[in-house]
């Protein structure tokens, strides 16, 4: 409501977007790859969309925190996935919330839940809105008389900082940049930077088990959660602030990953870091991707715990202008606030050299930094390329090391052939490791395909389906950190132990007896 | 059934116990402290106990894996807590299982569950039997027609080792020494050594969120669990082997800490370690305990992640013969299989010196090693001192750093005055940190009191209650790694979010609809 206005048809806020230089680079890349000639511009306007009238009206007591204007409704109708972008440019947004509520207190959160239940409406929690898996789309079945979206973004404060324990009590709707700014004043940082950094909210990151800055050790936000406070339709569930506990199954782990299906995370005590003062890093080139993966395995099992250990395959390096595509690149770095990391870096370089890696002097620090910058800017590019009928998406997973080589081959083959089958053209599939563990990597795949403007969603879905089937059939997880949402439910249900699904459904029936919370996600 | 016979009235196996030298040292210590003169010997015999006849008989198909002889029933009637020992020597064991089943396969586990449900009996999973919180005692209410104990110890194999991912599939009933032996042949180790090491089973450690060797980072067994297979009365729940995942709330985290109330953990894929080759360590002395705690806080927040970082207060040092009680001692050590830990150790020593610590050359490596040995031997001492009417017990918790000083003072005061109120004598309360986190320590308290032989349980309970009340009132957890069992339920329920308790109960009603599994524990 306050501050900058969300851009309803793309990433970020009104007035933001790709720069001219970025557009030119993207044009060059896809122009060459797919022999594109037309690069249409398309700037959607609110008036382009036929919205039904809101089917519910907030009670008087909530009117001041609710909005039902077309812009607000459109800005909360979709996440930021590829099919979301296509539907924006198609001017066909199938599900639009009737009303968007911006509660400013837990009491108001509870009141919105009560209203939704009374109105037989579905309630969709909405934080950063950066879901790429249909997590915030009010696509609910017809038994719901309406869909109300609950934006958490007015719960935007760092409430309390405990410098002694290096922890802070933070409201769930604060966006990461504002949170980091407030923590930074105390010399602290959460140091958890997903690609959605600019828009992401703390509660959204916890609810979706977001993956962050650290490539090893503290990969998911899970480990930074000291305690959680979640408002559910049945009341408040709050865990005790504890550095560790062995008292029964962890209550926090029920809230973490619940994706809005059990309640709204209104507050959490988060474990923080000191800002790093010592750094060491180097780009390491490999001729062979599986050798590089072996080097990463050795690093992941060494206990050195590099902060960065991103292996980027040659095609992805080329696509991002890091090198000419002649080598796979490992971006390796250590950081610490408390000790010199040079000895660790030296030992890590011994390990990578043992596996055929060479420090690549031809890759400048600028190129690596450009890649990091491109990574954060990438969400802006989707609105540029979608009108060009380029299909571009990513999916990510995790797999144990013993199965990685066969898994990787299967995923690459399945995705490549699905692209050809769906579009009639060869596409490009690339891979990087975003996070690595002693027992396996989290590979992240990007694909690029030449689509047909009128068939984009169908083509995309054909590719997505083949890739997801391959991930599940070959033993991976349907998501390492993008979450389940509505798009992944089918595969999530194949992966999840059946009895655990039944236990979760039983837990939901206690916390959300009327089933208003984000229906269709996690539990259906 | 096979192999060495469990000692029904003490720790370990028949024929084991404290050595003469150990007995003499314990006698000296308590003799001086409590002016004891009588040191009675008492060796219980099976015939001392009046056992009712088993109220149920196994079906023919299970007869071969069931035992109902008095020794087996007595050996599975209690855990190893202080009140358990008193009841052994009192010849009053209130709850004895009617039958003990030793299933050799998951099919037999399921068959035992079916039998229990059909017989309207409670089913008590029993691994190492080392519970100090009433976790394995068949103390169930009268709605159950009998109590059957399910010993997992015939499920005792390391099934499969994946050296590439450094993981192994291991059966739940294997004891830690046998597991380590099998893993050691592959050059690997779980490196998780609780005090109950000798008896503990893998499944029991997972079900109770056991705390192990590492003082930082990998403190609980939780982090070593790659996937879990649990047989429940409703069927098998098995999670996928994954190095990491963001697909909904973690299914493993429901099984971890479930303490047999949801099912029996029959198998798990565990993340392993390479055996350490590099080591560095030193005992560091402090004049002031809170200064020492500040040093530990700085270490815990440094990212150095020492493998050992146990702070032992002066009284506990004296009690264990590590020093004369004139200083608090930090046992600090680093280890690695892959890199020289000397630079870390050097930086850690700078940090402790900044907080007034000095490397204590007067403490020999032998003294530290003697302390470590005494730690492992300690469970044998309980059977020695209980007939002397010495009350000796421990409790443990975790608390954030900001609250630690006031918390510690409150716990010490509450426990000391409860000892005096309960026994009329001053006792001794000591503290050490078993594990430490960036946001707080896990303090572990031991207490020693002079009791009256006929009032030991009443006196103990009065002290235990006061200590537990103080832990909960001052913001701690009722257990960091001893688990909840029956003894902690009251405080666990005060600490646990109410709605989480309701969600757990709903989950239990799905997994264990007849409520046969370990009734009274975690869910009641």
- Other C-beta atoms closer than 10 Å to the C-beta of B279 total 14
B44 forms beta bridges with none
Q: How far apart are the first and last CA of chain A?
A: 32
Task: Collect all residues of chain A within an 8 Å Cβ-Cβ radius of residue B343.
Answer: 339-340, 343
Question: In the CATH hierarchy, which top-level class contains the domain A20-151?
Answer: alpha beta
The Cα-based distances of B135 to A44, B204, B443 in angstroms read 63, 10, 22
Report the alpha-carbon distance of residue A291 to residue A314 in Å, rounded: 13
Is CATH 2.60.40.10 what the domain over A278-473 is classified as, yes or no?
A: no
Is the distance from CB of A422 to CB of A463 less than 8 angstroms?
yes
Closest in A242, A340, A481 to B398, CB measured: A242
A 306-345 residues inside an 8 A Cβ radius of B: 336-340, 343-344
The Cα-based distances of B450 to A268, A441, B83, B132, B468 in angstroms read 45, 56, 15, 20, 20
| Residue A97 host element (H or E) | none
Q: How far apart are the first and last CA of chain B?
A: 32
Dump strand ranges (E) for A248-312. 264-271, 273-274, 278-286, 308-312
| Residue A171 host element (H or E) | strand A167-171
Q: Is A257 on the interface with B (CB under 8 A)?
A: yes
Closest in A209, A236, A247 to B477, CB measured: A247
Q: Is B496 on the interface with A (CB under 8 A)?
A: yes
Residue B287 Cα, gap to closest chain A Cα (Å): 22
B 476-495 residues inside an 8 A Cβ radius of A: 476-484, 488, 492, 495
Is the distance from CB of B457 to CB of B87 less than 8 angstroms?
yes
Per DSSP, the residues of A14-40 read: TT----HHHHHHHHHHHHHHHT-----
Tens-digit pLDDT string for chain A (524 aa): 446 899 999 999 999 999 999 999 999 999 999 999 999 999 999 999 999 999 999 999 999 999 999 999 999 999 999 999 999 999 999 999 999 999 999 999 999 999 999 999 999 999 999 999 999 999 999 999 999 999 999 999 999 999 999 999 999 999 999 999 999 999 999 999 999 999 999 999 999 999 998 999 999 999 999 999 999 999 999 999 999 999 999 999 999 999 999 999 999 999 999 999 999 999 999 999 999 999 999 999 999 999 999 999 999 999 988 889 999 999 999 999 999 999 999 999 999 999 999 998 787 777 777 777 888 899 999 999 999 999 999 999 999 999 999 999 999 999 999 999 999 999 999 999 999 999 999 999 999 999 999 999 999 999 999 999 999 999 999 999 999 999 999 999 999 999 999 999 999 999 999 999 999 999 99
Task: Collect all residues of chain B within an 8 Å Cβ-Cβ radius of residue A260.
Answer: none
The Cα-based distances of B166 to A71, A178, A300, A400, B341 in angstroms read 52, 40, 11, 9, 22
For B236, phi then psi, to 5°, come to -90, 135
Whether A20-151 shares its CATH topology with A278-473 is answered no
Nearest CA in chain B to A336: B303
Strand order in the sheet with B308-312: B358-359, B278-286, B328-336, B308-312, B428-437, B440-450, B390-396
Contact A256 B236 (CB under 8 A): no
Nearest CA in chain A to B229: A497
Q: Is B401 on the interface with A (CB under 8 A)?
A: yes
- Other C-beta atoms closer than 10 Å to the C-beta of A360 total 19
Task: Collect all residues of chain B within an 8 Å Cβ-Cβ radius of residue A351.
Answer: 338
- Other C-beta atoms closer than 10 Å to the C-beta of A33 total 17
Helix axes B82-89, B456-473, angle to 10 degrees: 170
The Cα-based distances of B216 to A335, A364, A491, B296, B310 in angstroms read 19, 37, 36, 11, 10
Residue A407 Cα, gap to closest chain B Cα (Å): 13
Residue A211 Cα, gap to closest chain B Cα (Å): 8
Is the distance from CB of B468 to CB of B478 less than 8 angstroms?
yes
- Helix ranges (H only) for A363-438 are 365-377, 382-385, 404-423
| Residue B2 host element (H or E) | none
Task: Collect all residues of chain B within an 8 Å Cβ-Cβ radius of residue A249.
Answer: 253-258, 504, 522
Task: Collect all residues of chain A within an 8 Å Cβ-Cβ radius of residue B236.
Answer: 499
Q: Is B475 on the interface with A (CB under 8 A)?
A: yes
Q: Which of A391, A387, A289, A284 is nearest to A333 (CA)?
A: A284
**Measured on CA atoms in the order A457, A460, A465, A466, is the torsion positive or negative?**
positive
A 64-93 residues inside an 8 A Cβ radius of B: none
Q: Is A406 on the interface with B (CB under 8 A)?
A: no
Closest in A242, A304, A477 to B477, CB measured: A242
Output DSSP code: residue A289.
Answer: H
Is the distance from CB of A221 to CB of A192 less than 8 angstroms?
yes
Q: Is A504 on the interface with B (CB under 8 A)?
A: yes
Relative to beta strand B99-101, strand B146-151 is parallel
Tracing tokens 């997972």 back to the chain, one arrives at B206
Non-local (6+) Cβ contacts of A124 within 8 A are: A76, A97, A136, A137, A138, A140, A147, A148, A149, A150, A260, A518
Task: Collect all residues of chain A within an 8 Å Cβ-Cβ radius of residue B480.
Answer: 244-246
B 420-439 residues inside an 8 A Cβ radius of A: 435, 437-439
**pLDDT < 50 stretches in chain B:** 1
CATH number for the domain whose boundaries are B40-151: 3.30.43.10
pTM, two decimals, is: 0.97
Q: Is A503 on the interface with B (CB under 8 A)?
A: yes
The Cα-based distances of B77 to A334, B98, B148 in angstroms read 53, 10, 10
Radius of gyration of chain A (CA): 23
Output DSSP code: residue B455.
Answer: G
Instruction: Provide the token pair at A43.
Output: 């700037």
**How many residues are given for chain B?**
524
Is CATH 3.30.465.10 what the domain over A158-274 is classified as, yes or no?
A: yes
Dump strand ranges (E) for B141-254. 146-151, 158-162, 167-171, 188-189, 225-232, 235-238
- Three-state DSSP at B191 gives coil
Contact A243 B274 (CB under 8 A): no
Contact A258 B251 (CB under 8 A): no
Domain boundaries, given as residue ranges, for chain A? 20-151, 158-274, 278-473
Contact B303 A497 (CB under 8 A): no
Report the alpha-carbon distance of residue A111 to residue A117 in Å, rounded: 10
Q: Is B304 on the interface with A (CB under 8 A)?
A: yes
- Give the rounded distance of the alpha carbon of B142 from its chain centre: 28
Q: Kindly indicate whether the ipTM for this predicted assembly is greater than 0.85, answering yes or no.
A: yes
Is the distance from CB of B418 to CB of B294 less than 8 angstroms?
no
């Amino acid at each position: 409501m306050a501050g900058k206005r969300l851009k309803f048809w793309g990433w970020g806020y009104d007035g933001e977007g790709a720069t001219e230089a970025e557009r030119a680079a993207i044009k060059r890349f896809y122009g060459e790859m797919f022999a594109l000639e037309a690069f249409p511009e398309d700037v959607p306007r609110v008036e382009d969309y036929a919205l039904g009238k809101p089917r519910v009206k907030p009670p008087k007591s909530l009117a001041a925190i609710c909005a039902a204007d077309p812009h607000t409704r459109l800005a909360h109708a979709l996440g930021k996935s590829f099919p979301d972008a296509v539907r924006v440019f198609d001017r066909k947004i199938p599900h639009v919330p009737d009303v968007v509520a911006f509660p400013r207190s837990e009491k108001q959160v509870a009141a919105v839940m009560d209203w939704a239940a009374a109105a037989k409406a579905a309630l969709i929690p909405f934080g950063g809105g950066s879901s790429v898996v249909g997590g915030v789309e009010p696509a609910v079945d017809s038994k719901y008389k309406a869909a109300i979206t609950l934006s958490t973004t007015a719960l935007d404060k760092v409430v309390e900082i405990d410098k002694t324990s290096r922890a802070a009590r933070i409201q769930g709707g604060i966006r990461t940049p504002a949170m980091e700014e407030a923590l930074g004043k105390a010399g602290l940082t959460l140091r958890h930077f997903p690609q959605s950094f600019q828009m992401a909210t703390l509660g959204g990151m916890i609810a979706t088990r977001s993956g962050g800055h650290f490539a090893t050790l503290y990969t998911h936000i899970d480990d930074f959660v000291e305690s959680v406070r979640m408002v559910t339709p049945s009341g408040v569930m709050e865990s005790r602030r504890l550095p560790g506990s062995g008292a029964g199954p962890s209550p926090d782990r029920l809230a973490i990953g619940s994706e809005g299906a059990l309640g709204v995370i209104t507050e959490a005590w988060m474990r923080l870091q000191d800002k790093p003062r010592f750094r060491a890093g180097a780009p390491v080139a490999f001729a062979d991707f599986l050798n590089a993966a072996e080097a990463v395995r050795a690093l992941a099992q060494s206990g050195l715990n590099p902060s960065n250990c991103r292996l980027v395959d040659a095609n992805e390096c080329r696509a991002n202008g890091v090198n000419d595509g002649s080598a796979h690149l490992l971006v390796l770095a250590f950081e610490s606030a408390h000790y010199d990391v040079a000895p660790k870096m030296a030992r890590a370089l011994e390990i990578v050299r043992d596996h055929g890696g060479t420090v690549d002097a031809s890759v400048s620090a600028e190129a690596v930094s450009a890649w990091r910058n491109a990574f954060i800017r990438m969400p802006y590019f989707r609105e540029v390329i979608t009108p060009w009928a380029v299909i571009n998406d990513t999916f990510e997973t995790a797999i144990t090391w013993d199965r990685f080589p066969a898994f990787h081959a299967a995923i690459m083959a399945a995705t490549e052939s699905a692209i050809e089958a769906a579009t009639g053209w060869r596409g490009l599939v690339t891979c990087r490791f975003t996070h690595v563990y002693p027992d396996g990597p989290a590979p992240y795949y990007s694909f690029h395909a030449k689509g047909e403007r009128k068939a984009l969603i169908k083509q995309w879905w054909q590719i997505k389906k083949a890739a997801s089937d391959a991930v599940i059939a070959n033993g991976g997880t349907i998501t390492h950190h993008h979450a389940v949402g509505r798009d992944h439910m089918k595969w999530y249900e194949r992966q999840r132990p059946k009895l655990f699904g039944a236990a979760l459904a039983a837990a939901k029936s206690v916390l959300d007896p009327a089933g208003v919370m984000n229906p269709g996600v996690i539990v259906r």
